[in-house]
Amino acid sequence: MVTRHFDIMIVGAGIVGAALAATLRHSGLNLALIDPRPPHEPTVDWDTRIYAISPGSVALLQHVNAWQRIDSSRLTPVHAMQVHGDRNARLVLDAIQSGVPQLAWIAEAGQIQHALWQTLVEQPNLTIFCPGQGRSLHWSAQQARLELDDGQCLSADLVVAADGRASWVREQAGIIARRDDYHQSGVVANFSCERPHRHIARQWFRDDGILAWLPLSDRAISMVWSTPAEHAGRLLAYTPEQLAQQVATAGQHALGKLQALGQAAAFPLSLLRVNPIVRPGLALIGDAAHGVHPLSGQGVNLGLRDVSELAAVLLDRQAARCGDLPLLERYARARRADILTTQSVTDGLYHLFHHQHPLLTRLRNIGLNTVARLDPVKSWLVQQSLI
Ligand SMILES: Cc1cc2nc3c(=O)[nH]c(=O)nc-3n(C[C@H](O)[C@H](O)[C@H](O)COP(=O)(O)OP(=O)(O)OC[C@H]3O[C@@H](n4cnc5c(N)ncnc54)[C@H](O)[C@@H]3O)c2cc1C
């Protein structure tokens, strides 16, 4: 069978892989994008996967003409964030006080993926292999060779692994990922609420985990409850009415009575450290390159920052080939600090609030209340959420 050659093969068309393909639209590079399944058509029901998208990520999605394609009635700006510690400690981050129109936008994963897909199917320098799944992948000195399940053979100067946490490409390359299990699941569900949320995202650090309520339009919220696996199992076993009651109580009835919208789902949580994230002819992006606790809502945002950096390096490659290691190392170096900081901060916060030692309990609440009084520190925290 004839082998089709590309400059870059992107394996995985989740938000991160799709965004990279779209960002390289005017690059003059010949691209292949491979994924076993296309995104679902959006429906009137809310998606169970709902993300806080930072303004920096919004700018990237606007730049590739995807954000504009999302039904604006399904996008909700976040005007403030309330973080509640135990013992009534509280930190409030406010958009107006921080001089920005909103801290983030809340959007459905399915809506973002569908919007990206619509831009990709019109992209002249892109060939989409979907449904497509790799059977074997090998690198030689000059190129990588991918055989798909249906027997098609593709080759490329560079393979980009964007195939998520359990990356098949990473495994084929023999790159070890260190996984630290949080022994928690992220239980996600949506609810309508009795009282308006006033565009405030709320988060409680509780003995049984971290509960987050993200505002949706139409007086509704999306919940992420990161909680021990055994408690997650109990939450999933409740009837919708029982779950709504538990979640309302855990959130101190801040929005009155809640009513479940659709089914709850749970995702196991772990910290994933991957090193290296580049090899000759290979670059890892998104969850294939790093995994973080969802308490700061940073996973997709971190992945989209990989996209910006890798695209910038590829566009500025001059005489280099896309798979050249010195070029790819520029990407890895540029991403190192952001990835390490996000992993350390989210992991540190998880451990700080996970332990029940009385001294730690006191320290963390003093910490929250002190930060609440220090405007420059608060501004810094806001800036972190805006990149
Ligand atoms: C409970 C929870 C809440 C979260 N909340 C937020 C939030 O508020 N904000 C935020 O930024 N992040 C959040 N995240 C993180 C976010 O879900 C991930 O960071 C994000 O999905 C990573 O995107 P990705 O495109 O790298 O990987 P994925 O979304 O996993 O996409 C991988 C793609 O690769 C494809 N694929 C898999 N295997 C293969 C293969 N062998 N060949 C070809 N294709 C393949 C898959 O079909 C898929 O399309 C949350 C995560 C959890 C668990």
- How confident is the model at residue 242, as a pLDDT? 97
- Quick check: is 99 in a domain? yes
Read off the pLDDT of residues 125-163 as tens digits, 9 standing for 90 and up. Answer: 999 999 999 999 999 988 999 999 999 999 999 999 999
Angle at 17 between CA 320 and CA 66, to 5 degrees: 110
The verdict on 263 and 119 lying in the same domain is: no
The verdict on 262 and 342 lying in the same domain is: no
Reading the block at residue 127, the tokens are 């060939």
Q: What residues have CB less than 8 Å from 178, skipping those under 6 apart?
A: 272, 273, 274
Do 42 and 110 meet the contact criterion of CB atoms below 8 Å apart? Answer: yes
CATH number at residue 318: 3.50.50.60
The verdict on 343 and 275 lying in the same domain is: yes
Residue 228 has pLDDT above 60, yes or no: yes
Read off the pLDDT of residues 236-293 as tens digits, 9 standing for 90 and up. Answer: 999 999 999 999 999 999 999 999 999 999 999 999 999 999 999 999 999 999 999 8
Residue nearest to atom 31 of ligand 1 (CA): 14
Residue nearest to atom 50 of ligand 1 (CA): 294
Residue nearest to atom 6 of ligand 1 (CA): 297
Does ligand 1 have an atom closer than 6 angstroms to the CB of 294?
yes
Residue 16 has pLDDT above 90, yes or no: yes
Distance from residue 15's CA to the centre of ligand 1 (Å)? 7
Mutate which of 181, 287, 298 for ligand 1? The one with the most ligand atoms within 8 Å of its CB, which is 287
> Per-residue pLDDT averaged across 359-383, rounded?
56
Residue 79 has pLDDT above 60, yes or no: yes
Residue nearest to atom 15 of ligand 1 (CA): 299
Q: 102, 299, 110, 108: which is closest to 201 by C-alpha?
A: 102
- How confident is the model at residue 296, as a pLDDT? 77
Range of the domain at 77: 67-107+182-270+356-386
Distance from residue 376's CA to the centre of ligand 1 (Å)? 34
- How confident is the model at residue 85, as a pLDDT? 77
The verdict on 360 and 377 lying in the same domain is: yes
Angle at 270 between CA 268 and CA 272, to 5 degrees: 135
Residue 384 has pLDDT above 70, yes or no: no
The verdict on 84 and 232 lying in the same domain is: yes
φ, ψ (nearest 5 deg) of residue 26: -100, 25
φ, ψ (nearest 5 deg) of residue 161: -85, 110
Amino acid letter at 89? A
The verdict on 210 and 230 lying in the same domain is: yes
Number of domains in the chain: 2
Q: 178, 218, 171: which is closest to 196 by C-alpha?
A: 218
- How confident is the model at residue 91, as a pLDDT? 79
> Per-residue pLDDT averaged across 220-234, rounded?
96
- Quick check: is 243 in a domain? yes
pLDDT band at 348 (very low <50, low <70, confident <90, very high): confident
Does ligand 1 have an atom closer than 6 angstroms to the CB of 209?
no
Residue 40, class by beta-carbon neighbours within 10 Å (0-12 exposed, 13-18 middle, 19+ buried)? exposed
- Quick check: is 33 in a domain? yes
Does ligand 1 have an atom closer than 6 angstroms to the CB of 61?
no
The verdict on 35 and 173 lying in the same domain is: yes
Does ligand 1 have an atom closer than 6 angstroms to the CB of 297?
yes
Read off the pLDDT of residues 80-135 as tens digits, 9 standing for 90 and up. Answer: 999 887 666 677 888 888 788 999 999 999 999 999 999 999 999 999 999 999 99
> Per-residue pLDDT averaged across 60-70, rounded?
98
- Quick check: is 102 in a domain? yes
Residue 170 has pLDDT above 80, yes or no: yes
The minimum-distance atom of ligand 1 relative to the CA of 162 is 26
The verdict on 337 and 262 lying in the same domain is: no
Do 347 and 293 meet the contact criterion of CB atoms below 8 Å apart? Answer: yes
- Quick check: is 198 in a domain? yes
The verdict on 148 and 231 lying in the same domain is: no
Secondary structure (H, E, C), 176-233 = CEEEEEEEEEEEEEEEEECCCCCCEEEEEEECCEEEEEEEECCCEEEEEEEEEHHHHH
- Quick check: is 13 in a domain? yes
- Quick check: is 62 in a domain? no
The verdict on 229 and 80 lying in the same domain is: yes
Residue nearest to atom 1 of ligand 1 (CA): 186
Residue nearest to atom 43 of ligand 1 (CA): 35
Residue 349 has pLDDT above 70, yes or no: yes
The verdict on 321 and 187 lying in the same domain is: no
For the chain, the average pLDDT equals 91
Read off the pLDDT of residues 321-344 as tens digits, 9 standing for 90 and up. Answer: 999 999 999 999 999 999 999 998
The minimum-distance atom of ligand 1 relative to the CA of 165 is 30
Continuous segment of H or E residues that includes residue 107: strand 104-108
Reading the block at residue 342, the tokens are 């996000």
Distance from residue 13's CA to the centre of ligand 1 (Å)? 10
The verdict on 265 and 197 lying in the same domain is: yes
Residue 374 has pLDDT above 70, yes or no: no
Least confident of 28-37, 107-116, 321-330, 377-386: 377-386
Does ligand 1 have an atom closer than 6 angstroms to the CB of 215?
no
- Quick check: is 60 in a domain? no
Does ligand 1 have an atom closer than 6 angstroms to the CB of 47?
no
CA gyration radius, the chain: 21
CATH number at residue 265: 3.30.9.10
Neighbours of 79 (CB within 10 A): 20
Does ligand 1 have an atom closer than 6 angstroms to the CB of 224?
yes
